[in-house]
Structure 1
Amino acid sequence: MTATLRNKVAIVGVGESDIGKVPHMTGLGLNAQAAKRALDDAGLQVSDIDGLLTAYSFTEPYFMLGSVLTEYLGLKPRYCASLIAGGASPAVMLKHAAEAIASGQCNTVLVCVGENRATGQSRDSAVASLTAVGHPYFEVPYGASIPAMYAMIAQRHMAEFGTTREQLAMVPVTGRAHAALHPNAHMRAPLTVTDVLASKPIADPFNLLDCCLISDAGGAFIVTSAERARDLKSQPVYLAGIGEFHTHEHLICAESLTEFGAQHSGEAAYRMAGLGPGDIDVAQLYDCFSIVPILELEELGFCERGEGGAFYADGHAALGGRLPVNTHGGMLSHAHAGAAGGLFGIVEAVRQLRGGLGPRQVAGAEVALVHSEGGILSSHCTAILTKDLS
């Protein structure tokens, strides 16, 4: 099935909810707002949707979230599922939606995720969720947390390749400059390397501004066949290639702290699309912590091993650079609310390929790459989108 997905489907609508602190809306409400905006973008009605994919919610942990959302949105789909692959979920759901449409299980799939993490949980609950990871026998007893595990990865990269603290800091600085050009970004105030280095220590080498936001946010996109897409309201963006790869759940079982599954998911996506790293005009890379897009740049072939930090420091990831990365600001500045953080990368890629984004538009963008990862660099999915049929 996967080998047949090239040019079979298109994303025809995208939407994002209000973002930041939105205390008057529940997580379901944020999903609904994003879904409505995606439907309006596509020129579709609720009755046109016959497939629904969603992920998970910490603030509203329904056992059957997909069914709850169908009820809440007034859908009656013949294809529905809740999928959990951590932050990789949105890209994996794009792949599942494409496979469902290509196999005739449904015609038009709504993918939506979102949570009210900024206002829907207490500070203690937020901190507790960061420690609710790790092997119960071999990691948890030693105080493992999500920031600490990613910090171990950063420390290893610094020791092995000489990546500097200032290079790490350039990741949130670059993202913030892009977010300042996005009207719906959670954080838009200017940011400097000095600001990052002076922010509150979290887990060495990370400070607060090396870590993703906690936002209220929801995002959605709509997938249908390439044939049907031509007749809809907005310019379609086509799926040229997609691949996923999963290596471990617990970090103690990872074979390396500098090489993960992005290389393999990326190779599958490039192979399906018939493209390579040199063909990509803009990239949206998962950035839960500042080390992560540095690793992804290397594994996806945009630079050599150990050169991801220099890629950022030299300005190659900035607008106008060799490969603009996270032109919406990423999870470090635009928004992070569970799986919605990675989904906004897909939304931004679609918008970049459609064009018309003013000062944050990548000139001549025709091919975009989106990479999402979940767990502690455990699950990976890479998607390549094109402006035209490739």
Structure 2
Amino acid sequence: MVTSRYLDDPRLTDVMADVEMPPLLGEAWSGRLLPRPLFSSRERTRRAAADVADLFGLLTSLPDRLFGGDRRAFCAAVGADERRAALMTRLDGEPVLCGRADLHDDGERFRLLEFNVGSELGGVDISEVNRALLGTKVFAEFAEEHGLSTVDTPAVLARQFVQATQKEAPVVATVEGIGGIAPYEALHRSFQESMKRHGIELVFGELDQVRERNGRLYLHDRPIDLVLRYFSAHQVVRDPRNAEPAEAVMRAHEKGRVVLWTPLSSSMFSYKSCLPLLSDPDLRADLPPEANALIDRLLPWTRKLTPDLVDLVRDERERLILKPVAGLSGRGIRAGWDRTDAEWAETVAECAREDFIVQRRVAPVLEPVRDVESGAVSDWLAVWGLFVFPEEYGGVWCRTVPSGAASVVNLGTKGARVSSAFHY
């Protein structure tokens, strides 16, 4: 109802064009914003975020439940090689709930597509769009009329950093792997701008720019209190130049000289092959009823693609999608409903020789969007990225593509747009 009323209000058709965005946010997302925000039920969205947090608890219990606490064995089971496993098990300690769950809204509830566990998250600045929208008279009136609310993701993160460091105004270093800043520098600058509003000095750079001096870590001559990790185990393994400075950061964390938020141990739970473990009937037989109910609510049928499943997967082409266990940004995903029977049979045979999972299709509700120039309304496919942090729901970053443009929603798709979201 809120969406239809938004579309029917002529004052709001091009409100995004009139919004005064923070300068660096405008540069980072120029030409990539959807013409309107998305809307979701506050109760349903927060319930989904609570379910994701509970699912994180189940995920992080898997090494104990299935492998007797042997995290190396768990890493091997999800497809990590020895070098990655060594990095991901380098530090002890409980995993930190920090991540973004990517979900489809099927009209009744949100269903999980994948869970990006760790601190290397895109879209953390997008809620700044909502703050800018509320600064316009016409949208502020609409928001008040419909009881809209929003979650300020940078504000949530600022609270997390203060709590993690026990400092009122910590210096936070966003650290990428070597060569990782250039492709995303505009986004880092936008994030830096938004964190400054909350009293957090954020500096960004690459692993080889971090220096150790007098028992402290420095980046660009600033002593840092918290390393916001944007480097991954994959980057460290791919480029050996990352290994020594990554070890220096982990060693400083161990000695209490800096907070590493989050350790590389989080990365083992981002492998898509974790989800089939949760869906496995043998595991579920040992889970309490409330845990099984959680899995049924949130997770579509998901299995590791094994030879005994090939016939079933081939026969149920229109209902299934194949995903590489360690793929990023939608790369390598194959949707059965996009292929002919012959093409799908060939695809299944090819993927069965590699590390893939198979997941039942979630048919999402489509989001109507009015084109600012033509006035025509068309349907868009959306993925809702829910941020979750310790004891706190962190807001939403939505990615969208025109319906029919692609089966997988990612920013590499032609015409893809991003959006913020309000809750009613």
TM-score (norm 1): 0.26
User: Which is strand-richer, 1 or 2?
Assistant: 2
